[in-house]
Structure 1
Amino acid sequence: MSDPVSAMNGAKFSGLAQVEDSGLQGMITLRGDLTSKALKAAVKSATGADVPASGFVSMAKTGGVAWMSPDELLLLVPYGEVDARVADLDEALKGEHALAANVSDARGVFRLSGAGAREVLAKICPVDMSAEAFKSGQFRRTRMAQVAAAFWLDDAGDFHIVCFRSVAAYVYNLLCTAAHPQSKVGALTG
């Protein structure tokens, strides 16, 4: 069996902001009744984090939880522990109408940091990226130019971006282009 590698295998770029492949990240899609006490307890046990409110992410030392839709969460756990966490979720949610699936290898994850990070995302996403509109802990599913993506802002001011692995090279190149000092991506021309 081959060793797993992240979508962009550690690629990095520095410009108006720093773009980097985040490495291997364990991810579990969990579908079910987000108000269920059993589901909330299972999520807390799996990640150490609480189920977040709509449009937010909840982080803990051992993992995180992102709100994806009214019946879907994205659980963030260490890559090597995903299968065990899925098994634990399946056991904890017996009798509940729920589904837990390992999606780790189907996703690419990037970190965007630095003073220009908000501007880089504003060039390529139809989202108000001002500090007043998008704050730490918020989570957003949106389009990143031509593809679906999601991102959140952590307490340190870094953005974490998740996309499908099949478009990871496109997203990485898009972020690098938007972060290039001479970039005109999304800029108004007159």
Structure 2
Amino acid sequence: MSDAVSALNGKLAAGEVTIRDAGLQGMIILRGDLADKKLAAVCKAVTGVAVPRQGKASVEGKSGLAWMSPDELLVLVPYEKAGDAVAKIDAALQGTHFLAENVSDARALILVEGDFGREVLAKLAPVDLHPDSFGLGDFRRTRLGQVAAAFWMMDEDTFAVICFRSVADYAFNLLAVSARAGRVGHF
């Protein structure tokens, strides 16, 4: 068996805003009734966080949950624990209508770090990123340029961006060019 590598294999674009590969991240798509108490309990057991409200992500380190749609969560766990997490979800939700799928190797996680990271994303995504509208823990599924992506704000100067592995290089380069273009001064 070969060793797993991230889609961007450590790629880095350093500058006033740094764009970098976050490395391997366990990601599970979980579809089901988000109001189901068994679903909420297994999510808490696997990640340590409660199911977030619409448009939110609750992430601590490599573990957390992000609201994807009315019946879908993105479950984040350390990469090496993704298989076990799916097994725990399958066992806990047996007999209910749900789908849990490990998508860790089909996605990429890119970090945008720096004091104008908000502007880097605002140049690329049709999302209101004004600080009054988008803050810590906010989560959006959207597009970056021509590709589907999702992102959340981890802290005041860091955004986490998820995209499909097949477009990771394009998304990374798009973010890097946006960062190199400099500040707009809008926020």
TM-score when normalising by structure 1: 0.93
Range with bigger deviation, 40-49 or 58-67: 58-67
Give 1:112 shift: 0.4
8 Å Cα contact 1:141/1:149 also seen in 2:
yes
Report the Cα offset of residue 181 of structure 1. 4.0
Q: How does 1:71-82 map to 2 (within 5 A)?
A: 71-82=71-82
Distance 2:22 2:68 in 1: 20
Residue type matched to 1:111 in 2? L
Aligned CA distance change for structure 1 residues 166 and 62 (closer, same or farther; 3 Å): closer
Cα deviation digits, residues 64-104 of structure 1 (max 9, x gap): 00000000000000000111110010000011111110000
Cα offset for 1:62?
A: 6.2
* Stretches of structure 1 lacking an aligned partner (at least 5 in a row): none
Q: Are 2:27 and 2:77, in contact at CA under 8 Å, matched by a contact in 1?
A: yes
Instruction: Report the Cα distance in structure 2 between the residues aligned to 1:44 and 1:67, rounded to whole angstroms.
Output: 14
Identity of aligned residues (%): 53
- The 1:122/1:16 distance shift into structure 2, 3 A limit, reads farther
1:83 is matched with 83
Find the aligned partners of 1:178 and 1:59 in 2 and give their Cα distance.
26
Deviation, structure 1 residue 157? 3.1
**Number of residue equivalences:** 184
TM-fit CA distance, 1:160: 0.2
Q: Show the counterpart of 2:19.
A: 19
Question: Closer, same or farther in 2 for the Cα pair 1:62/1:143, shift >3 Å?
Answer: closer
TM-score under structure 2 length normalisation: 0.94
1:126: Cα distance to partner?
Answer: 0.9
Give the match's secondary structure for 2:155. Answer: coil
- Residue 135 of structure 1 aligns with which residue? 135
Give the residue type in structure 1 aligned to 2:99. Answer: L
Instruction: Note closer, same or farther for the CA distance 1:40–1:182 as it changes in structure 2 (3 Å cut).
Output: closer
Alignment of 1:48-63 (within 5 A): 48-60=48-60, 63=63
1:43 corresponds to 2:43? yes
> Which residue number in structure 1 is paired with residue 154 of structure 2?
154
3-state SS of 2:85 partner: helix
Q: Does 1:120 align with 2:151?
A: no
Consecutive unaligned residues of structure 2, counting only runs of 5 or more, are none
